[in-house]
Chains A and B, each alone.
Chain A
Amino acid sequence: MGNYFQPEIECASQEQIRAWQDERLVKQVKHVYDNVQMYRERMDEMGLKPEDIKGREDLSKLPFTTKDDLRDQYPYGLLAMPLEDCVRIQSTSGTTGRRVVAFYTQHDIDLWEECCARAIVAVGGTKEDVVHVSYGYGLFTGGPGLNGGSHKLGSLTLPMSSGNTDRQIQFMTDLGSTILCCTPSYAAYLAESIIERGLRDQIHLKAGIFGAEAWTEEMRHDIEEKLGIKAYDIYGLTEISGPGVSFECEAQTGMHINEDHFIAEVINPITGEVLPDGEKGELVFTSITKEAFPLLRYRTRDICILSHEKCPCGRTHVKMTKPLGRSDDMLIVKGVNVFPSQIETVLLNKGYPANYQIIVTRVNNSDNLEVQVEMTPEMFSDSISEISGKEKELVGALKAMLGIYADVKLVAPKTIARSEGKAVRVIDKRNLYQA
C-alpha cells in the first residue's frame, strides 16, 4: 500500500468511479450543449439531445473533438463559461502555427492542481518535501501544473523554471530539493551536470516526475542510476488540463488516469470504433468536471493501451501505457509540440518551395532539430554571405513559429528522400517509442 493524496477517490471502487462518471458526464453534456455552439450544432445534426446521454454507456454517441476544431474555434469558440469567470489561460502550439488556448476557472485550476498533487504523493511526496520544479513556467502547463500540485500538498515549492543549470544545481544542494519535476531530457542533462561537477553526494533528491515528452526505459534507468532516485512518468495535455491527467505510481507499470475528472477511451484511429482494454489505439478524453474549457471525446492522437488490472499500489483508476506512438505527424522536441506543417508554413511564407526534411536526433539525452531545405535557383547566389543571411533569416522565422531553435541545413536539389513519389518529411532517429 502506498501513499495517497485523496485515498477515498484514488482507491474508490469501480462502481463508485462509474457512478461519478455517469453523473458528471450527464451534467457536462448539458453544460456543453447549452454553452458551446459547436457542440450544440454537432449534436443537433446527429439528432442527439443532452437527455439522450444517460451515463457512460452513451459516451460513444457523442461527437469527437479534434485539434483542428480547437484551431477553428480559436480563441473563444469552445469557451463554456463567461470570460469573467475565467482566471487563467494556458497555451500550446497548434497544427498550423495558430496556438491552442485553454481557459480555466478557479474550479478548473483547483482540480488540475489536485491531480498534480496526487502525482507528487504517488512518488512519495509529503508536505515535508522540497519540490524542485524545472519545467518551463508561463503558457506551457508543465511549470504551473506541478507548482500548483506542490502548493496543494503543502510542500516547499521551488519555482525554478528551465535553464540556468548552475543555479538549478546550487538550489538543489543549498535547499535540499527532494523531488525534481522536469522533462526527462532535462533531468538527464541535470544528472550529467551534477556528476561533472562532482556534486552527486551533495544532492538529496529521492524521486523525479518527468513528462511532456516521450522517453524510454533505458533513459529511466540512466536517470535513476545517475541521480540515485526513482524516476516516474506523468502525462497530460493542455487541451484537457495539463500534466497530471495521468501519473505513475510506485509500481511503475503505466499511469493511473484521474477518472473522476477525465473519462478515457481508446479508439481505432481510422474507424473511430471504441476498443476494449488491452487493445492498442488512439487515446480519447472527455473532461467531465471542467467548467471553462470542457472537451467531449478529444482525440489526443497518442497511441496507447488501457488496463483495468488491479494495481499493487491500491489505486483503482484505469492505467494507460506510455504513448506508444502518434496517429498524426506531431513531434515532441525538447518538450515542445512541433508539426511538420508549421515548418512548411514558414518556408512558403519566405517564398521557398516546401522541399524539406526534419531530422530529429537525441545526443547526450538532448533533442536536436535539424531542418534540411532543398536549395533553389532563387535562393542561390554567388555570395556566401548572402546565402548565410537567408539561412539565418529562416532560422529566425522557425524559432518564432516553433518556439525552439532549429538548425537549418541547405541541401542540393532532389536529395531529400522520396518514397513512392511522396517526400519523407520526418526522420526521427530517437527511437522513443517502444513496442
Chain B
Amino acid sequence: MTVKQISIFVENKIGNLAEVTKVLSDAGVSLHAISLADTKDFGVLRVIVDDSYLAATTLKEQGYIFSITKVLAVAINDEPGGLYRILTLLEESKINLEYLYDINTRKSDYAYLIFKVGNVEEAIEVLTKNKVRLLCQEDL
C-alpha cells in the first residue's frame, strides 16, 4: 500500500538538477512524480519512478547520495473538500504529515497526491478503514 520515493542530495549549483535527471533518463528511468525542496546551499530532490531498483543502482554507480523512503500515494476525490477530508482523518488520528506533492498516473478518475507521513502503518490503517484508496508501486 506504499510507493517508494527516492530522495537525492543535490548541491545548489547551476546544472546539478539537470545532471541528475540526465543520469536517470540515460538509464531509461521514467519519472512519475518529482518535487524539489531546497535550502540556502542544498536541495533534496524527491522522485517517484517506474523502476526504483534501476534508479537506485544507477544513482549509486554515479556516486549520488540518496535514500529510499516509503510514502503514500493517496487518491483524492477530484471535487471541493476532497483533500480536506483526508487531512482531517490524519489529524484526528494525530498522524503528522511532513509534506505532500502531486503525482501523475494513468488513472484519471481521481487526483493522486504523495503523502509523507510520520507513521506509515497507522496512516494506512486509518485511511483504508475510511475507504480512501491508496496506490501500490505496481499501480503506477
Q: Within 8 Å CB of A375, what residues of B?
A: 9, 42, 65
Q: Report the bound CA distance from A409 to B9 in whole Å.
A: 13
Measured as residues with beta carbon below 8 angstroms from the partner, the interface class of chain B is: 20 to 34
Contact B7 A414 (CB under 8 A): no
Given contacts A411-B11, A412-B11, whether A382 and B41 have CB atoms under 8 Å apart is no
B55-113 residues at the A interface, CB under 8 angstroms: 63-67, 69, 98
Flag if B39 contacts A382 (CB, 8 Å). Answer: no
A415–B9 alpha-carbon span in the complex (Å): 13
Shortest beta-carbon distance from B58 to chain A in Å: 16
Q: Are A382 and B65 in contact (CB under 8 A)?
A: no
Q: Chain A residues near B42 (CB, 8 Å)?
A: 375, 387, 410-411
Q: With the chains together, A376 CA to B10 CA distance in Å? A: 12
CB distance from A347 to the nearest CB of B (A): 16
Contact: A382 with B46, CB < 8 Å? yes
A 373-396 contacts with B by CB, 8 A: 375-377, 380-384, 387-388
CB distance from B105 to the nearest CB of A (A): 22
Q: Are B39 and A388 in contact (CB under 8 A)?
A: yes
CA gap between A343 and B61 in the complex, in Å: 30
Bound CA–CA A412/B69 (angstroms):
20
A410 to B40 CA separation, bound complex (whole angstroms):
10
Instruction: Please indicate the chain B residues that have their CB under 8 angstroms from the CB of A377 in the complex.
Output: 65, 67
Given contacts A382-B46, A382-B69, A388-B39, whether A414 and B63 have CB atoms under 8 Å apart is yes
Whether A413 is near chain B, meaning CB under 8 Å from some CB there, is yes
Task: Provide the residues of chain A in CB contact with B66, threshold 8 Å.
Answer: 380
Identity of the chain A residue whose Cβ is nearest the Cβ of B98 in the assembled complex: A383
User: Once bound together, how far apart are the Cα atoms of A383 and B37, in whole Å?
Assistant: 10
In whole angstroms, how far apart are the Cα atoms of A387 and B65 in the complex?
13
How far apart are the CA atoms of A413 and B63 in the complex, in Å?
7
Q: Is B5 an interface residue (CB 8 A)?
A: yes
Say yes or no for B16: interface residue by CB 8 A criterion.
yes
Which residues of A lie under 8 Å from residue B39 when comparing CB positions?
Answer: 384, 387-388
Q: Most chain-B Cβ atoms within 10 A of its Cβ — which of A381, A411, A412?
A: A412
Bound-state Cα–Cα, A415 to B46, Å: 22
Q: What total count of A-B pairs have CB within 8 Å?
A: 47
Cβ distance A407 to chain B, nearest Cβ, rounded Å: 9
Question: Are A384 and B44 touching (Cβ within 8 A)?
Answer: yes
Q: Which residues of B contact A380 (CB under 8 A)?
A: 7, 9, 65-67
Minimum CB–CB distance for A323 against chain B, Å: 33
Does the CB pair A415–B11 fall under 8 Å?
A: yes
User: Nearest-CB distance from A224 to chain B (Å)?
Assistant: 37
Chain A residues in 8 Å Cβ range of B69 = 382
In the complex, are the beta carbons of B65 and A413 less than 8 A apart?
yes
Per-position binary interface string of chain B over residues 20-34, scored 1 when its CB falls under 8 Å from any chain A CB and 0 otherwise:
000000000000000
By a CB distance below 8 angstroms, the chain A residues around B67 are 377, 380-382
Task: For A409, list chain B residues within 8 Å (CB).
Answer: 41
Contact A412 B116 (CB under 8 A): no
Selected from A382, A384, A387, A412, the residue in CB contact (under 8 A) with B10 is A412
Taken together as a complex, chains A and B put the C-alpha atoms of A411 and B65 apart, in Å, by: 11
- Assembled-state Cα–Cα distance A409/B12 (Å): 10
User: B residues within 8 A CB of A381?
Assistant: 7, 67
> How far apart sit A387 and B42, CA to CA, in the bound complex (Å)?
10
Chain B 102-132, CB-CB to A under 8 Å as 1, else 0, gives 0000000000000010000000000000000
Q: Which residues of A contact B9 (CB under 8 A)?
A: 375, 380, 410, 412
Residues of A within 8 A of B37 (CB): 384
Cross-chain pairs A/B with CB under 8 angstroms, 12 sampled? A380-B7, A380-B66, A381-B7, A382-B5, A382-B7, A384-B39, A387-B39, A410-B41, A411-B41, A412-B11, A412-B65, A414-B63
Interface residues of A (CB under 8 A from B): 375-377, 380-384, 387-388, 409-415
Residues of B with Cβ closer than 8 Å to A?
5, 7, 9-11, 16, 37, 39, 41-42, 44, 46, 63-67, 69, 98, 116
16 further contact pairs, Cβ within 8 A, besides A409-B41, A412-B11: A375-B65, A380-B7, A380-B65, A381-B7, A382-B5, A382-B7, A383-B98, A384-B39, A387-B39, A410-B9, A410-B11, A411-B42, A412-B9, A412-B64, A412-B65, A415-B11
Closest A-B pairs by Cβ, 5 of them: A382-B7, A412-B11, A382-B69, A409-B41, A380-B65
